[in-house]
C-alpha cells in the first residue's frame, strides 16, 4: 500500500479480549508464516497458527485492524517459574538476566500482512509495525516487566539484512547472546534484549506521543514519570 493511500483513521490496534479477536491474531499469523514457508500448512487445518503460550493468563495478544480487517498482530509473554518463556530456556545469558531482573517478558509472533509493512506516517514511522510494538511494550511495562527479550529472524545464513539491522537498532534492542537454531522454524535466531529505560531517539518520541489508533492505556507512556513508578 502506498503512503498516500494509507489512512490512520482506518487503523485500530487493540488488546485481544475475546475469542474472536484472538482468532483474528492466529489467522494473521497463519497467513504470514504460512506464506513465508515457516509452517506445515497441513498441520494447521483451521487456518490458524497458535500454541499453548497463547492461552496463558500471563500472555497478551495485540491485533491491528485496517477498515475492520485484521492485518497484524504481536504477542507478549510474562516470564513465570512454572512455564518460562519459549525460546530462551537453553540460553545461559538469559538465565543470568533472569537472576538480575525483576521481571522479564518476551515479545514474539510479530506478523504483518505484506501490503502494510512499508506504510509510513509523517515522522517516517510505520503505524502498524511500530504501533503494535509500542502497545506490546507498554503492556509489559504496566505488568512490571523491567526487561524484554525477543529474537531476530536470521534465516539460514546467520545474518541480518540491512533493513532488519536498522529496525532492531531503532527500537533499542541489543544482542545479548550467540545465535541459536529455532527448531520450530529451522532457522537461526538472534537473542535480543531491550531495557525500556534505554529506548531512545525517534521510537522514544513515538512511545511518548499519544496515538488515537492505539487502544488506551497502551497509546503512550511518559518515561520521566511512568517508568520510575513501574521500576
Give the per-residue pLDDT at 166: 67
pLDDT at 22 over 80: yes
44 neighbors 16 (Cβ within 8 angstroms): no
Q: pTM value?
A: 0.89
Closest among 196, 120, 185 to 151, alpha carbons compared: 185
Q: Which residues pair with 13 in a beta bridge?
A: 64, 214
Q: How many domains does the chain have?
A: 1
**CA distance linking residue 194 with residue 186, whole number of Å:** 25
Q: Which residue has the higher pLDDT, 140 or 223?
A: 140
- Strand duo 59-66 + 180-182: pairing: unpaired
**CA distance linking residue 190 with residue 221, whole number of Å:** 28
Residue 186 to residues 65, 94, 157, 204: CA-CA distances in angstroms? 30, 21, 11, 33
Q: What is the mean pLDDT of residues 156-184?
A: 72
133 neighbors 150 (Cβ within 8 angstroms): no
Angle, in degrees to the nearest 10, between helices 201-208 and 162-171: 50
pLDDT at 69 over 90: yes
Give the confidence band of 16 by pLDDT, cuts at 50, 70, 90. very high
Residue whose cell numbers read 516487566 = 145
pLDDT at 44 over 80: no
Q: What is the mean pLDDT of residues 116-135?
A: 93
Task: Encode 193-225: b = buried (16+ Cβ within 10 Å), e = exposed.
Answer: bbebeebeeebbebbeeebebbeeebbbbeeee
Give the per-residue pLDDT at 85: 87
- The domain of 188 spans 3-230
CATH number at residue 41: 3.40.630.30
Residue whose cell numbers read 525500556 = 196
74 neighbors 53 (Cβ within 8 angstroms): no
50 neighbors 29 (Cβ within 8 angstroms): yes
**CA distance linking residue 96 with residue 123, whole number of Å:** 37
pLDDT digits (tens, 9 = 90+) for 194-223: 999 889 889 999 999 999 999 999 999 987
Amino acid at each position: 500500500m502506498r503512503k498516500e493511500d494509507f489512512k490512520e483513521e482506518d487503523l485500530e490496534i487493540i488488546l485481544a479480549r475475546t475469542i474472536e479477536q484472538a482468532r483474528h491474531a492466529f489467522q494473521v499469523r497463519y497467513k504470514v508464516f504460512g506464506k513465508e514457508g515457516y509452517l506445515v500448512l497441513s498441520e494447521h487445518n483451521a487456518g490458524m497458527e497458535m500454541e499453548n503460550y497463547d492461552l496463558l493468563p500471563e500472555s497478551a495478544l495485540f491485533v491491528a485492524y485496517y477498515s475492520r480487517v485484521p492485518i497484524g498482530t504481536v504477542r507478549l509473554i510474562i516470564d513465570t517459574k512454572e512455564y518460562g518463556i519459549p525460546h530462551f530456556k537453553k540460553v545461559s545469558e538469559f538465565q543470568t538476566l533472569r537472576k538480575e531482573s525483576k521481571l522479564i517478558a518476551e515479545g514474539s509472533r510479530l506478523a504483518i500482512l505484506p501490503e502494510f509493512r512499508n506504510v509510513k506516517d509523517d515522522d517516517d514511522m510505520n503505524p502498524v509495525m511500530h504501533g503494535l510494538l509500542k502497545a506490546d511494550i507498554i503492556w509489559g511495562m504496566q505488568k512490571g516487566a523491567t526487561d524484554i527479550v525477543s529474537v531476530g529472524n536470521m534465516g539460514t545464513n546467520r545474518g541480518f539484512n540491512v533493513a532488519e539491522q536498522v529496525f532492531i537498532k531503532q527500537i533499542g534492542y541489543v544482542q545479548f547472546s550467540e545465535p541459536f537454531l529455532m527448531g520450530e522454524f529451522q532457522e537461526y535466531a538472534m537473542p535480543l534484549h531491550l531495557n525500556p529505560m534505554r529506548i531512545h531517539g525517534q521510537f522514544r518520541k513515538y512511545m511518548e506521543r499519544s496515538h488515537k489508533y492505539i487502544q488506551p492505556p497502551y497509546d503512550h507512556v511518559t518515561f520521566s514519570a511512568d517508568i520510575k513508578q513501574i521500576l
